[in-house]
């Protein structure tokens, strides 16, 4: 083949390959750089596919997470409000604890909570370990205390043996919190369709879902909901543009957000930006559980956080995108 013919052949091959590649909407193998480029440049990062956890702690933590003896009257466990088969929340406006007591907040999901920079709507717990004591002591949730819990668990030779095999000092508050936290770190939902897209699979999202994602970025949702958990890495005022609480009415102490933690006036109505992974499964929404549907939550966010009124088509596109954030969790798996 002459030099000219060779160049022409190469050019045609390239055009044909590009055409096939575009037709398949999957350039992953040809555009070798596209996967890592997307992982680098997109404001949302995929959840890890593999975890490095202490399996014996995870197993003990799993049992404790389902343990009703953590509550005063042995009726309520962590799963009572964090149902692992239903998005890791409880589908209620506000949670219900022992003696049917109504709590003051909507229960956030426990899935992927290990990736949040702080725990709780107002961020008052610095770590999962610190978080565990709160529901155990909260009179509206489990209404118990460490002394009672340690005494009840110590009555079980099975628990004694299991704790001893991991912790030299056996059944202690700190060890209970440690095991539960390690289990919570296993509550990860990788491989959502959106994560597959981030990892380079071009064909996995529909045109409409991609448009929803573009709008999520262009309208500015991503300035607060970003990173590995699509949130969970900063505090922001609820009502950044307009007064959400005045519009909703009936303001209570739980609406003060970070103010309850710091006592600083500038922290009034400031909350942790929640992660949006699996958000399609965790209705109702917001710390007050006031938004019944994801569509309502999206429209409220646009208005009060960004000062824009979305067309119904914009809302439904964004909801389509949010649906692609639903990942996989197998009880018993990791």
The yes or no reply on residue 285 touching ligand HEC (CB under 6 A) is yes
For residue 206, the minimal CB distance to ligand HEC (Å) is 18
Of the listed 42, 63, 130, 141, which one is catalytic?
Answer: 141
Whether the Cβ atoms of residue 187 and residue 329 lie closer than 8 Å to each other: yes
d(CA 234, CA 271): 9
Count Cβ neighbours within 10 Å for each residue of 136-149 and write b for 16 or more, e otherwise.
bebebbbbbebebb
Q: Which of 44, 70, 204, 320 binds ligand HEC (CB under 6 A)?
A: 70
202 catalytically annotated: no
Residues 203-232 that bind ligand HEC (CB under 6 A): 219-221, 223-225
Residues contacting residue 306 through CB under 8 Å, at least 6 positions apart:
219, 220, 221, 240, 241
What is the DSSP track for 43-97? Answer: SB-PPPSS----HHHHHHHHHHHT-GGGSTTS---HHHHS-TTTTTS-SSSS-B-
CB 201 within 8 A of CB 209: no
Q: Is 187 in the site for ligand HEC (CB under 6 A)?
A: no
Which residues ranging from 124 to 143 are in contact with ligand HEC (CB under 6 A)? 128, 131-132, 135-136, 141-142
CB of 139 to ligand HEC, least distance (A): 11
Q: Which residues bind ligand HEC (CB under 6 A)?
A: 70, 76, 78, 80-82, 95, 97, 103, 105, 107-108, 110, 113, 116, 119-121, 128, 131-132, 135-136, 141-142, 180, 184, 219-221, 223-225, 236, 238, 240, 271, 273-274, 276, 279, 282, 285-287, 297-298, 301-302, 305-306, 318
Catalytic machinery residues: 141
């Amino acid at each position: 083949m002459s030099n000219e013919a060779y160049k022409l052949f190469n050019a045609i091959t390239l055009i044909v390959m590009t055409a096939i590649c575009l037709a398949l909407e999957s350039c992953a193998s040809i555009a070798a750089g596209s996967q890592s480029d997307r992982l680098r440049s997109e404001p949302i990062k995929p959840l890890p596919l593999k975890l490095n956890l202490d399996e014996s702690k995870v197993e003990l933590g799993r049992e404790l997470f389902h343990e009703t003896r953590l509550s005063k009257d042995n009726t309520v466990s962590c799963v009572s409000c964090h149902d692992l088969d239903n998005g890791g929340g409880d589908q209620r406006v506000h949670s219900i604890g022992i003696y049917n007591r109504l709590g003051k907040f909507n229960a956030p999901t426990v899935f992927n909570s290990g990736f949040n920079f702080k725990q709780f709507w107002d961020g008052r717990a610095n770590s999962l370990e610190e978080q565990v004591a709160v529901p155990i002591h909260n009179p509206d949730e489990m209404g118990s205390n460490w002394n009672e819990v340690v005494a009840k668990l110590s009555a079980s030779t099975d628990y004694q043996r299991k704790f001893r095999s991991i912790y030299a000092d056996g059944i202690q508050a700190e060890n209970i919190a440690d095991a539960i936290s390690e289990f919570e770190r296993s509550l990860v939902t990788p491989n959502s369709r959106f994560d597959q897209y981030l990892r380079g699979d071009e064909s996995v999202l529909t045109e409409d879902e991609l448009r929803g994602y573009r709008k999520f970025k262009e309208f500015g949702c991503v300035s607060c909901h970003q990173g590995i958990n699509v949130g969970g890495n900063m505090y922001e005022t609820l009502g950044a543009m307009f007064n959400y609480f005045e519009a909703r009415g009936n303001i209570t102490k739980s609406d003060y957000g970070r103010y309850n933690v710091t006592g600083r006036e500038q922290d009034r109505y400031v909350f942790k930006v929640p992660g949006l992974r699996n958000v399609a499964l965790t209705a109702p929404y917001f710390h007050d559980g006031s938004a019944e549907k994801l569509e309502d939550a999206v429209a409220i966010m646009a208005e009060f956080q960004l000062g824009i009124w979305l067309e119904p088509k914009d809302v439904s596109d964004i909801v389509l995108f949010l649906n692609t954030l639903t990942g996989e969790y197998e009880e018993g798996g990791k």
